[in-house]
């Protein structure tokens, strides 16, 4: 493939990953697209992007919000009109179809994995909804998934507990790529737990029916293909950080504990420290679990509080080196840190 064609292909894939994951439109490489369009008189690149985004099978089956699709296709039309005199019918046909659709309170985001598989999540369109931040995917979760995929040996054939699983991106991706023996998703807000179970089913996994209230069957109007392969034992736990006991945590017999974007509020941070202290003194076959916490530093004071409180309960920490591959198009300028706790 000649360099120009390879460059165009790579640009199309960047649009694909960003679109399917519902990234902010301003984060797309529009300037690069415009430059590429000006150097080429045909519309093949735009048609290729259309096929990789709006017409992608994942988008057809699990579409992003109507507003998002409308704004995206409108931006493509703008770029085309800025360099061409002849309209591109395919773009206008797609826009007309989208304009006839009604908006839903929920939408889908799909994250492409290096294995060729993907993680599809149903999310609420609001950032903070029903009193919880757990109904959307945050950047630190994407960062943690990238690191986990590069360090899959840490998770392979082991039992994993995730604190604050939210709607499930990290755990579902780890279950699909890292071959854990068992995975315990946990959260507290009932709306988050309901959405989490739905997303686990949406991605082809079946929950262990250890407790009846932690198994939720597919809604009547939604079907999914259940994986035939032997996957990890998956459970969903309702975990209140303020009331869970050391004995309850020890019963889980976990080897690795992970969490993403749970360090953002001083009060919640203190509750998290309590859970981490109990986990650090619980033992699985004689050893405490390995603990990894990923978070975006939005407020340095909250980050320093977290470090200080860890020290007070005798837990050390070290910053885990940044991984090499950027698989997801989150904000690379965000200050995301991954800590390994030393117990």
Q: What is the pairing mode between strands 336-342 and 290-296? A: antiparallel
CB neighbourhood size of 277 (10 A): 18
The H or E element spanning position 258 is strand 256-260
- Which residues are within 8 A (CB) of 213 and not within 5 positions of it... i.e. 6 or more apart? none
Give dist(CA 39, CA 3) in Å, integer: 14
Backbone angles phi, psi at 282, to 5 degrees: -85, 155
| Torsion of the alpha carbons at 321, 323, 328 and 331, rounded to the nearest 10 | 30
DSSP label of 285: T
Give CATH superfamily name and number for 107-216+225-342.
Vaccinia Virus protein VP39 (3.40.50.150)
- pLDDT by 10s per residue, the chain, length 343: 688 889 999 999 999 999 999 988 998 999 999 999 888 766 889 999 999 999 999 999 999 999 999 999 999 999 999 887 688 999 999 999 999 998 887 789 999 999 999 999 998 765 433 444 444 567 899 999 999 999 999 999 999 999 999 999 999 999 999 999 999 999 998 989 999 999 999 999 999 853 344 333 333 333 334 444 468 999 999 999 999 999 999 999 999 999 999 988 888 899 999 999 999 987 666 789 999 999 998 888 889 999 999 999 999 999 999 888 888 877 666 789 999 999 8
The pLDDT, as a whole number, for residue 216 is: 34
Give pLDDT, residue 135: 45
Per-domain residue ranges of the chain: 3-104, 107-216+225-342
CA 75 distance to own-chain centroid: 25
Question: 240: buried, middle or exposed (CB in 10 Å: 19+, 13-18, 0-12)?
Answer: exposed
The pLDDT of residue 30: 95
pLDDT of res. 333: 65
Confidence (pLDDT) at 328 = 84
CA 343 to mean position of chain CA atoms: 28
CB neighbour burial string for 111-120, b if at least 16 within 10 angstroms, e if fewer: bbbeeeebbb
The answer to whether the CB of 189 falls within 8 A of the CB of 211 is no
Asked whether the beta carbons of 259 and 186 are under 8 A apart, the reply is no
- Euclidean distance between CA atoms 165 and 147, whole angstroms: 16
- pLDDT at residue 325, rounded to an integer: 83
What is the pTM (predicted TM-score) of this model?
Answer: 0.88
End-to-end alpha carbon distance in the chain = 52
H-helix segments, the chain: 3-20, 30-38, 44-52, 57-61, 66-83, 89-99, 139-150, 169-177, 190-202, 246-251, 266-280, 300-312
DSSP assignment of 42-97: SSHHHHHHHHHTTTSHHHHHS---HHHHHHHHHHHHHHHHHH-SS--HHHHHHHHH
Predicted local distance difference test score (pLDDT) of residue 2: 81
């Amino acid at each position: 493939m000649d360099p120009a064609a390879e460059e165009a292909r790579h640009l199309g894939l960047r649009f694909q990953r960003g679109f399917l994951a519902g990234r902010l439109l301003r984060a797309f490489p529009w300037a690069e697209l415009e430059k590429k369009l000006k150097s080429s008189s045909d519309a093949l690149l735009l048609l290729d992007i259309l096929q990789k985004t709006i017409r992608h099978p994942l988008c057809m089956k699990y579409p992003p919000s109507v507003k998002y699709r409308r704004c995206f296709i409108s931006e493509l039309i703008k770029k085309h009109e800025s360099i061409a005199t002849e309209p591109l019918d395919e773009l206008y046909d797609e826009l007309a179809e989208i304009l006839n659709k009604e908006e839903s309170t929920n939408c889908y985001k799909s994250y492409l994995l290096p294995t060729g598989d993907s993680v599809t999540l149903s999310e609420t369109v609001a950032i903070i909804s029903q009193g919880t931040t757990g109904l959307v995917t945050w950047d630190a979760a994407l960062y943690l998934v990238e690191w986990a995929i590069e360090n899959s040996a840490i998770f392979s054939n082991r039992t994993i507990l995730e604190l604050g699983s939210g709607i499930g991106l990290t755990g579902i991706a780890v279950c699909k790529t890292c071959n854990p023996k068992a995975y315990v998703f946990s959260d507290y807000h009932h709306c988050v737990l309901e959405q989490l179970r739905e997303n686990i089913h949406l991605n082809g996994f079946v929950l262990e029916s250890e407790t009846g209230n932690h198994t939720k069957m597919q809604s009547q109007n939604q079907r999914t293909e259940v994986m035939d392969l032997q996957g990890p034992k998956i459970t969903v736990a309702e975990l209140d950080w303020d009331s869970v006991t050391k004995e309850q945590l020890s019963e889980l017999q976990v080897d690795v504990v992970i969490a993403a974007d749970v360090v953002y509020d001083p009060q919640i941070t203190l509750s998290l420290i309590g859970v981490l202290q109990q986990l650090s003194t619980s033992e699985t076959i004689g050893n405490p679990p390995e603990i990894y916490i990923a978070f975006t530093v939005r407020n340095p004071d909250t980050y320093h509080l977290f470090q200080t409180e860890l020290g007070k309960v005798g837990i050390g920490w070290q910053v885990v080196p940044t991984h090499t591959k950027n698989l997801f198009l989150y904000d690379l300028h965000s200050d995301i840190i991954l800590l390994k706790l030393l117990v």
